[in-house]
Structure 1
């Protein structure tokens, strides 16, 4: 009760935690004493060879162990909270609350169903719990525990359907909550480890950097502009990101596979010892555990001992999250690879793509050659002006959509500042809508360096401005920041009150945080819009004289050429698409 009151924020952490921890320890000690006395000669009235321990005895042992583990884990939580690693208050999110309620409801559903069937079928209550467990998990072991009355068989129809629905809900909550939270933590850890490893391998003499065990790429700042240097960092960070994510996926698969195999092998070991009266060998126990884990349930082997049944209930409940996580991790790796392979084989044989077999082969060869960037020592290409060109193209799209009446009117009156301000606000609103669409993309959208440069320029962070940037460092200064705020980049101020300077390969890189790239950009865009609203409401004349980071003059400069006066065409109201059409046809001057 104290733990629940603490989660509901009705009881303080300092009061609730000691009560909860002491309560679990007392419960554990009392159960241990009780089970010890129950197996002693004090309570044994019959000869030793006729003495048998009930299922309740083994449930008591399992419960005592769980209580002790919970208390020890809560001690770790308290120590971590007072050291600043964890918050001192439980703030349950909606998915966490949902998983708790669904788990509690499922356990109550099993126990109440067992109570009903113990009365209807005349079973012992704990035997009915064992039956309800293997029934709702669709294992169907059978044996002597099957409904034999018409009432029991009739009640099975709604009871089994309701139980399977609740199991599905619990599995869905485990997948969305446990896996997602674990993925975020592991991604951040692997990303930081890989980032430090890559930066530590920087060779100044050879001007190379190692991105893999046998992979080196050129990394030199000599002769590069600030924008090209930043793009080089971005490319390396993308490689770090991809390799760290691949490592995380296969590490998660290996961990969940080991957990599943331990559950199988150790469970079989316990079943072998529990079912010695039946003469089960270890292989038979492995067979039983395997058919139970996969819910095959042939029914040719069934548990009969008072120790095997309670362990089976506990073991099967552990199997639900374990196999859920394993299957999910397989979906991200092995199953995805097999699916891609079958689609590729189909496109070459019985189900060719719309572009034909030859096009499919050519695309496959190009994908195999995607590592060319990693292996070409000193041959990275830096497209001069590509970032600026992308920015202008993106702005031109907005011009094509609308001629921006307010901007045109301001331009006609010669007020270029007001014209550019209107244009800037229009672009921000349009990009806000685009990012809202990108938020829902699956898999999460990854932007090119040119797109990042465009968005950062909208936020007032020009990639060509060296004063906003810093050199990449393998490790952050713990004397100043014990726990760095990953992925903040241009967000917030440093210890001197000024904006953070950051590197694409640093801990504050936007690619380092747990947010998706679209989420990061959307948050910064929303902050930019708020800042612009405050500036427009300001009574300070200086605030209204600040030029926006983009202007329509940039576009007019782009469409000027020696052979045609495209600037005049734009000023006359022609769309950018029409200007380009006329330029291609060579009639822009007519």
Structure 2
């Protein structure tokens, strides 16, 4: 209970005596039972708020009903706890002499709970206001990852509290001391001290309790990584790409015919002497560079943010430990040392906490460290650790483990990649990805194969009858079905698949968006000198339903939250569905598709005579090049 004081002995240890609590109540003008009642009311408000929030998340209660209950409940619980803590810290409840008594752990847990209630309730107020203004949806649609993390976190806390109750009975500890012990045990900190199992029963139970807790910590860390990092990565990537794109567009100099991609990177940007496809390819390559630079900035920004959070956790935690352990004479350096060995779960045990405030804060602080360090380590894996790994592999290829191309070739490749800010780029050994289930992929492959065989058979039959338009329509359906199957595998590739401009040219042609048709594209207005404050008109949508787009515009397939394979699969599937509906309709007008078997025949003739690769990029044969692993420079 937050108001209870316990005496402080000369040896520096807390002594918990029921008589002291009773003495405190007798010395108080307010009966102790009333304070217990206020504390119970605070707990009821908190439970009601949590239950309302959970029912809202499971769609049992509407947003309009659940949110007021949750917000009011947490605010009331916070205010009641603050009132109790304020009263308990006054001289009305102090035992004399004051220097020989200290507040119990329950008091500090009450302060922490009040602060958390207030902060979360305030954030929910912002969410509700934003929802009614149309910035957020008026509901909580939890994904499977969010549900998993929530259930795992609740289970882990229940596991800690239940285990603490069992060990407090077995070892004769106070319950909150047992909570402190369970926390540093399951997080593998092992700070030592007086709280260690001494009975055979406790040590036997520890075998099972510790391994179960460590497994649950691992599950929580995995969920934090998959949920927080992946979702945060998508949002940050989209934001950084948009900011970089706007900055690049604002740097266009129509007089010098240049565009600035970086501090020391200016490239030519002009449409003079270029046909439509070349102009579009120029935009595409610039947008790719925008993506690369934005992604690099995102990685190091995320690293800086997580490093700052971890550093703050260390330094501020050490400051709290220094003040809480004044009776032991801890300096700030000793507190830094203790906080560092605890954060990294080293736990030498040479310094241990003895104050009630320090123990209560350690539980909250160490649980907060789990997601913080998880995010930091993951961000280091994308930047510092990855750079060190690539450097190690590159040095190894020059020394003890030379590559297949030889040391001289490896050295040349490494120097070239250093110039572009990337030392080592391993081959994608699994572009198709393994995220999709084997059974699901087999079903999708069989469906695609069925459509392919049916359409190809009908195309051959139509060709035998001399109906070349019907032949080309079925051949087009066959190609669409085949590419849908391929994109279904690409969609799960890790890292996400990025296609070359030649592949995009091929796919867009299948979708009826020929890169050579300037009527489908936005014309970048960069030939005239812009006035100060004007924005370059590159690919932004005009009012009136203009569906034209630019690779550098907001409608670009390289913008948004979808990766490239998702964007293509969605539109390729819709195109195939639309084509099949037209085929079934007896009144639909038959039109020549964007590709035909004549394209394939011309490609074969071109291969047998000149071997010219440009023709390959403009017809169906480009798909086969892509599958064989060739790139646009073969």
After TM superposition, the score normalised by the length of structure 1 is 0.85
Q: Distance in 1 between matches of 2:610 and 2:66?
A: 77
1:556 aligned residue (581, 584, 601): 601
Q: Distance in 2 between matches of 1:80 and 1:196?
A: 26
Deviation sequence 1:99-121 (CA, Å, 0-9, x none): 00000000000000000011000
**Does structure 2 retain, via aligned residues, the 8 Å contact 1:202–1:209?**
yes
2:562 is aligned with 1:540:
no
**Does structure 2 retain, via aligned residues, the 8 Å contact 1:29–1:64?**
yes
2:549 aligned residue (486, 489, 502): 502
Q: Distance in 2 between matches of 1:371 and 1:39?
A: 59
Deviation (angstroms), 1:354: 2.4
Instruction: Go from structure 1 to structure 2 and tell me whether the alpha carbon gap of 1:217 and 1:371 turns closer, same or farther (over 3 Å shift).
Output: farther
Deviation (angstroms), 1:370: 4.9
Deviates further, 546-555 or 210-219: 546-555
Secondary structure (helix, strand or coil) at the match of 2:356 reads coil
1:266 aligned residue (301, 313, 316): 316
Matches within 5 A, 1:545-584: 545-560=590-605
Match of 1:384 in 2: none
1:142 aligned residue (164, 189, 192): 192
**Does structure 1 retain, via aligned residues, the 8 Å contact 2:582–2:588?**
no
Q: Distance in 2 between matches of 1:116 and 1:555?
A: 75
2:499 is aligned with 1:454:
no
2:463 is aligned with 1:411:
yes
Match of 2:238 in 1: 188
Match of 2:473 in 1: 421
**Does structure 2 retain, via aligned residues, the 8 Å contact 1:114–1:129?**
yes
Match of 1:47 in 2: 97
Q: Distance in 2 between matches of 1:156 and 1:144?
A: 16
1:356 aligned residue (394, 406, 427): 406
**Does structure 2 retain, via aligned residues, the 8 Å contact 1:211–1:217?**
yes
Match of 1:513 in 2: 560
Deviation (angstroms), 1:564: 7.1
Secondary structure (helix, strand or coil) at the match of 2:272 reads coil
1:7 aligned residue (22, 46, 57): 57
Deviation (angstroms), 1:58: 0.5
**Does structure 2 retain, via aligned residues, the 8 Å contact 1:472–1:504?**
no
2:81 is aligned with 1:31:
yes
2:483 is aligned with 1:438:
no
Matches within 5 A, 1:212-251: 212-251=262-301
Deviation sequence 1:364-389 (CA, Å, 0-9, x none): 234345589xxxxxxxxxxxxxxxxx
Secondary structure (helix, strand or coil) at the match of 1:52 reads strand
Deviation (angstroms), 1:438: 1.4
Q: Distance in 2 between matches of 1:565 and 1:342?
A: 44
Secondary structure (helix, strand or coil) at the match of 2:225 reads helix
Secondary structure (helix, strand or coil) at the match of 1:266 reads helix
Match of 2:12 in 1: none
Secondary structure (helix, strand or coil) at the match of 2:137 reads coil
Instruction: Go from structure 1 to structure 2 and tell me whether the alpha carbon gap of 1:267 and 1:83 turns closer, same or farther (over 3 Å shift).
Output: same
Deviation (angstroms), 1:51: 2.6
Q: Distance in 2 between matches of 1:267 and 1:12?
A: 40
Instruction: Go from structure 1 to structure 2 and tell me whether the alpha carbon gap of 1:562 and 1:285 turns closer, same or farther (over 3 Å shift).
Output: closer
2:362 is aligned with 1:330:
no
Unpaired runs of 5+ residues, structure 1, are 373-397, 475-488, 567-575, 577-590
Match of 1:299 in 2: 349
Deviation (angstroms), 1:556: 2.6
Secondary structure (helix, strand or coil) at the match of 1:471 reads coil
**Does structure 2 retain, via aligned residues, the 8 Å contact 1:473–1:506?**
no
Matches within 5 A, 1:65-76: 65-76=115-126
**Does structure 2 retain, via aligned residues, the 8 Å contact 1:472–1:506?**
no
Q: Distance in 1 between matches of 2:606 and 2:276?
A: 27
> Root-mean-square deviation (CA), in Å?
2.5
Q: Distance in 1 between matches of 2:347 and 2:417?
A: 44
Instruction: Go from structure 1 to structure 2 and tell me whether the alpha carbon gap of 1:539 and 1:407 turns closer, same or farther (over 3 Å shift).
Output: closer
Aligned residues: 522
Q: Distance in 2 between matches of 1:157 and 1:281?
A: 36
Match of 2:14 in 1: none
Q: Distance in 1 between matches of 2:366 and 2:459?
A: 67
Deviation (angstroms), 1:499: 6.4
Match of 1:463 in 2: 515
Deviation sequence 1:171-222 (CA, Å, 0-9, x none): 0000000111111111111111000000000000000000001210000011
Instruction: Go from structure 1 to structure 2 and tell me whether the alpha carbon gap of 1:22 and 1:473 turns closer, same or farther (over 3 Å shift).
Output: farther
Q: Distance in 1 between matches of 2:361 and 2:301?
A: 29
Secondary structure (helix, strand or coil) at the match of 2:320 reads helix
